[in-house]
C-alpha cells in the first residue's frame, strides 16, 4: 500500500508540473513555456527555504521548550528518538480547535505545531498518536512534497488568472483563445484536484507510519474521531484554506458537495485502515 501511494504521489506531482508547462506554452508559446518554468522554479525555491517560517507565523505559533510543556515536548522527543530523526522544534498555536501540523524542508529542519485545544482535549495516548502521525510526515519528507505541490498549484493559479484576463499568444504572437479555456479549466478544476489527490495519499501513508511508530493505531483512530467532531464545533480563527493540507484534519472543511474536494481522506476511511492494522497485531 505504501509503495503504491509513493508512486501515485510522484505521478501526481509530475501531472502538476506538466499542467504548469502546458498552460505556460498555451499563454505564450516557447517564451511562455520558459516563463512558466522560471516562475514555478522560483516559487519552489522560495517555498523550500521559507515556507515553514511563513506558515508558523500565519498561525501565530510560539516555539516552546521542555519547561513550557513537559508532556508535549517529552512525547515529541521520545517518538523522534524511535524514528531516529533529529528532535524537531515544537510550537504551540493559540487556537481552541484541536489540530496539529508538521512543517520544514527536511528532518533536520522540521517543526511540529499543536493547538492549545489539542493538548486540552486529547489524552496522552491520543496526543502521542497525533504526534506520531506528524513525525510520519517528517520521516517521509511529506512536508517538502506538500510545499512543492502547493507552489505548483499556486503557479498554475497565477498563470490561469493571467490567461483568463489577457488570453494567450501562439508561436506567431497571434491571439490564442484556447489559452482562455485552458486557464479557466486549470483554475477551477485541474490544479485543485491534483493537489487534493497528492494530499490524500500522503495522509494514509502518515497514518500508517505514525501507528507503527507508536505501536498504537487505535490511539490515533480515537484522536482522529475526536478532532473531526470537535473541529466542526470549534472553528479556527487564523490561517487560510490554502494551508489546510498541512493539518491532520482539515480545519476549514465544509459539508455537502465541497467535501468532495477536501484535501484529506474521509476520517472513517482512515479509522478503518488503522483498525485493520490493529487487528493485524501491530
* Structural domain spans, the chain: 2-279
Cβ-proximal residues to 85 (8 Å cutoff; 6+ apart), any chain? 107, 110, 135, 138, 139
pLDDT tens digits for range 115-142: 999 999 999 999 999 999 999 999 988 8
134 catalytic? Reply is yes
pLDDT tens digits for range 104-117: 888 999 999 999 99
Question: Are 128 and 90 in contact, with CB atoms under 8 Å apart?
Answer: no
C-alpha cell at 138: 517528517
pLDDT tens digits for range 68-87: 999 999 999 999 999 999 99
Instruction: Name the phi and psi angles at 57, rounded to 5.
Output: -70, -35
Judged by DSSP in three states, 88 sits in: coil
Question: Are 252 and 244 in contact, with CB atoms under 8 Å apart?
Answer: yes
pLDDT value of position 167: 56
pLDDT value of position 200: 75
Query: Looking at 134, 203, 208, 228, which residue is catalytic?
Result: 134
Give the pLDDT of the chain (282 residues) as one tens digit per residue: 455 555 655 666 676 677 666 666 666 666 666 776 777 677 667 767 887 888 899 999 999 999 999 999 999 999 999 999 999 999 999 999 999 999 988 899 999 999 999 999 999 999 999 999 999 999 988 877 776 666 666 666 666 666 655 555 555 555 556 655 666 666 566 666 666 666 777 899 999 999 999 999 999 999 999 999 999 899 999 988 878 888 999 998 655 444 555 778 899 999 999 999 999 987
Tell me how far apart the terminal alpha carbons of the chain are, to the nearest angstrom: 16
Q: How far is residue 144's CA from residue 109's CA, in Å, rounded to a whole number?
A: 11
Amino acid at each position: 500500500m505504501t509503495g503504491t501511494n509513493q508512486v501515485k504521489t510522484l505521478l501526481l506531482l509530475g501531472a502538476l508540473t506538466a499542467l504548469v508547462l502546458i498552460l505556460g506554452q498555451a499563454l505564450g508559446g516557447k517564451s511562455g513555456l520558459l516563463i512558466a518554468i522560471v516562475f514555478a522554479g522560483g516559487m519552489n525555491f522560495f517555498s523550500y527555504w521559507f515556507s515553514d517560517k511563513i506558515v508558523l507565523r500565519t498561525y501565530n505559533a510560539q516555539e516552546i521548550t521542555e519547561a513550557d510543556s513537559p508532556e508535549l515536548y517529552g512525547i515529541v522527543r521520545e517518538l523522534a528518538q524511535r524514528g531516529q530523526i533529529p528532535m524537531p522544534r515544537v510550537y504551540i498555536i493559540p487556537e481552541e480547535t484541536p489540530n496539529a501540523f508538521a512543517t520544514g524542508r527536511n528532518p533536520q529542519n522540521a517543526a511540529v505545531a499543536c493547538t492549545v485545544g489539542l493538548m486540552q482535549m486529547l489524552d496522552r495516548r491520543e496526543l502521542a498518536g497525533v504526534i506520531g502521525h506528524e513525525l510520519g510526515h517528517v520521516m517521509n519528507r511529506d512536508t517538502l512534497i506538500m510545499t512543492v505541490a502547493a507552489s505548483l498549484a499556486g503557479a498554475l493559479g497565477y498563470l490561469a488568472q493571467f490567461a483568463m484576463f489577457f488570453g494567450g499568444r501562439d508561436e506567431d504572437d497571434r491571439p490564442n483563445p484556447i489559452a482562455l479555456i485552458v486557464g479557466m479549466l486549470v483554475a477551477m478544476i485541474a490544479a485543485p484536484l491534483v493537489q487534493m489527490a497528492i494530499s490524500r495519499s500522503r495522509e494514509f501513508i502518515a497514518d500508517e507510519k505514525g501507528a507503527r511508530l507508536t505501536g498504537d493505531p487505535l490511539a490515533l483512530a480515537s484522536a482522529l474521531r475526536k478532532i473531526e467532531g470537535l473541529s466542526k464545533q470549534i472553528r479556527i480563527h487564523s490561517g487560510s484554506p490554502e494551508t489546510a493540507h498541512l493539518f491532520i484534519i482539515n480545519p476549514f472543511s465544509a459539508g455537502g458537495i465541497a467535501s468532495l474536494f477536501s484535501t484529506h481522506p474521509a476520517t472513517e476511511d482512515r479509522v478503518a485502515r488503522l483498525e485493520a492494522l490493529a487487528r493485524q497485531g501491530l
